[in-house]
Amino acid sequence: MDSPLAMDVAFHLGPVPITPPVLVTWAIMLVLGLGAIVVSRRLALRPGTLQTVLEMAVEAVDDQVRGTMQADPAPYRALIGTLFLFILAANWSSLIPGVEPPTAHLETDAALAGIVFAATIWFGIRAQGVTGWLKTFAEPSWAMIPLNLVEQVTRNVSLVLRLFGNVMSGVFVIGIVLSLAGLLVPIPLMALDMLTGAVQAYIFAVLATVFIGSATGAEGAPPAPPETPAQPQKGKGS
Amino acid sequence: MNNYVEIASILAAAIAVGLGSIGPAIAEGRAVAAALEAIARQPEAAGTLSRTLFVGLAMIETMAIYCLVIALLVLFANPFTG
């Protein structure tokens, strides 16, 4: 059995080795990017089916951000929505035969968590200024400074390991079952894997929102008025 | 001699995952039970509750994932086997 921590090289682009996860990542970027451009070119005031579905997705992202941060979701919509859609597409790309999800490798997850880490710093400084952002490390008292610094690192590491562990273990289990019994047996496991992929994409996006919210000091804000017409929404934002 | 290291590694990986998933399993069960009770008592808060529940479950699950990663390191990236 191949080690999930190692990977082979597909081809070399000049001196840079290109691995299969990178290729899959590029393909997902291309599909999502081109799809977004094609769909958003023909926006109408009376939306068709496709536009309605996409507007619902944007609404769902907005609702999640607003519910978590109690702030206007406009500055965060692009980042959070893209993170969710990309991870969802990456997790579900294992449904295409021969494709291994790029999130099943540590490097892709580390890059995604790096984006979140940079975004927390960026949004934190933008919302509170450099001194205000630095002061958040000394909350609730200066004695917490080392712990707060450690927390910045560990929570991002746990973000990496959570996504990696979940997606990789799904791929791993399906590989093992496939080597034991080929036909039809892995299908329930693949369905479970799809559920895990969706939940993990949702959780990654929510945790990114929570981290950015704590950096911008949104958590210190007074509690928002109770959410208007309480609808029994499903847990997933998909 | 090397063989013993491999045997010990496989045992260590199995024990790490087996014992390490007990705690998160109990914790997740308690969390879901509490959330279900809360939803039964207050169905209109189901949206907020399930969102919080999912994030909490992810946090708890991370402990089990840590054990899994340690087991994988022991199996595939063991520094003591040649």
pLDDT tens digits, A48-62:
888 888 888 889 889
How do residues A57-99 score in pLDDT, each as one tens digit? 889 889 888 888 888 888 888 899 999 999 999 999 988 888 8
What residues in B contact A6, CB-CB < 8 Å? 76
| B45 close contact with A: CB closer than 8 A | yes
Question: How far from the centroid of its chain's Cα atoms is residue A40's Cα?
Answer: 22
Write phi, then psi, for A11 (nearest 5 degrees). -160, 175
Report the pLDDT value the prediction gives residue A143, as an integer from 0 to 100: 85
Confidence of residue A34 (pLDDT cuts 50, 70, 90): very high
The CA distance from A25 to A14, in Å, is 19
pLDDT tens string A113-127: 999 999 999 998 988
Do A87 and A205 form a contact (C-beta atoms < 8 A)?
yes
Between these two residues, A52 and A11, which has the higher pLDDT value?
A52
Kindly state whether B79 is in contact with chain A, defined as any CB-CB distance less than 8 angstroms.
no
Q: Using the beta-carbon criterion (under 8 Å), do B48 and A67 form an inter-chain contact?
A: yes
Tens of pLDDT along B28-77?
Answer: 999 999 999 999 999 998 888 887 888 788 888 888 888 988 888 888 87
- What does the pLDDT read at residue B29? 95
How buried is residue A1: exposed, middle or buried, by Cβ count under 10 Å (0-12/13-18/19+)? Answer: exposed
Say if residue A6's pLDDT is above 80.
Answer: no
What mean pLDDT, rounded, does chain A reach? 83
Does the structure show a pLDDT above 90 at A13?
no
pTM for the whole thing?
0.81
Return the ∠ at Cα A24 (arms to A23 and A26), rounded to 5°. 65
How confident is residue A232, by pLDDT bands cut at 50, 70 and 90?
very low
Which residues, in sequence order, are CB contacts of A55 under 8 Å at separation 6+?
A47
Residues sharing a CB contact under 8 Å with residue A215, sequence separation 6 or more, in sequence order: A120, A121, A123, A124, A127, A133, A136
Selected residue with higher pLDDT from A59 and A2? A59
Residue B12 touches chain A, beta carbons under 8 Å: no
CA distance A181 to B55: 35
Structure tokens at A229: 């017409």
Amino acid occupying residue A23: L
Q: How far is A82 from chain B (nearest CA, A)?
A: 19
Contact A48, A57 (CB under 8 A): no
Whether ipTM > 0.85 holds is: no
Tell me, what's the pLDDT at A19?
86
Confidence at residue A25, expressed as pLDDT on a 0 to 100 scale? 92
A97 closest CA partner among A3, A24, A164, A35? A24
B48 within 8 A of A67, measured Cβ to Cβ: yes
CA angle A75, A77, A82 (to 5 degrees): 130
Ranges A135-139, A181-185, B2-6, B69-73, most confident: B69-73
A158 and B62 in contact by Cβ < 8 A?
yes
Question: Which residues partner with A17 through β-bridges?
Answer: A12
Contact assignment for A67 to B51 by CB distance below 8 Å: yes
Give pLDDT, residue A86.
93
Residue A88 near residue A194, CB atoms below 8 Å: no
Non-local (6+) Cβ contacts of B53 within 8 A are: A235, B31, B32, B35
pLDDT tier at B15 (50, 70, 90 boundaries)? very high
Tell me the chain A residues in contact with residue B77 when contact means C-beta distances shorter than 8 Å: 3, 5
